[in-house]
Amino acid sequence: MDVSISQVQSLGQQLSRVVGRDGSTVFWGQFGTNNREGQFPGAVENLTASSDLAAFMTLTEVAMAKLVASAGKELLSTGGYVFFMFYEVNATPFLLVGMIKERGALSLSADMVPTDIRELDLSKLDQAAPINLARSD
């Protein structure tokens, strides 16, 4: 997404406020040291070392490859959009990975006729992992 677009910035701000809100499922934890964590921690380390677009894109590709492989094994995978955001709070860098779903809604046409639409459900994140990139433990 083009971060210069105000709607993209708004989406990121809204999602960062939703993390931890009731209805959102957030996983807390640390990467293990027994090499079962896969390639993601290394991709995160590369992002913290350079913070450039190439490192961010590599990280998203590594994460998506693992998510696609894991979702393919689950019978109840319902889909959605995976959102990755690199941001700072009080000079502390964070990476937010969250699952956004769509929902049905209504809108009024110019003639005041209710019309079905699909919209992003920004009231909650189905799954989310805010990762503090400044912590080394």
Confidence at residue 75, expressed as pLDDT on a 0 to 100 scale: 73
38-49, pLDDT tens digit by residue? 667 777 777 777
15-34, pLDDT tens digit by residue? 887 776 666 555 555 555 55
74-103, pLDDT tens digit by residue? 777 666 888 888 888 888 888 888 888 888
Enumerate the domain spans of the chain. Answer: 6-132
Rg (CA), the chain: 17
Q: Please report, rounded to a whole number, the percentage of residues in the chain having pLDDT higher than 90.
A: 6
Averaged confidence pLDDT in the chain: 77
For residues 111 and 96, what is the distance between their CA atoms, to the nearest angstrom? 40
pTM: 0.70
Angle between helices 53-71 and 40-50 (to 10 degrees): 160
Average confidence (pLDDT) over 112-134? 81
For residues 28 and 127, what is the distance between their CA atoms, to the nearest angstrom? 11
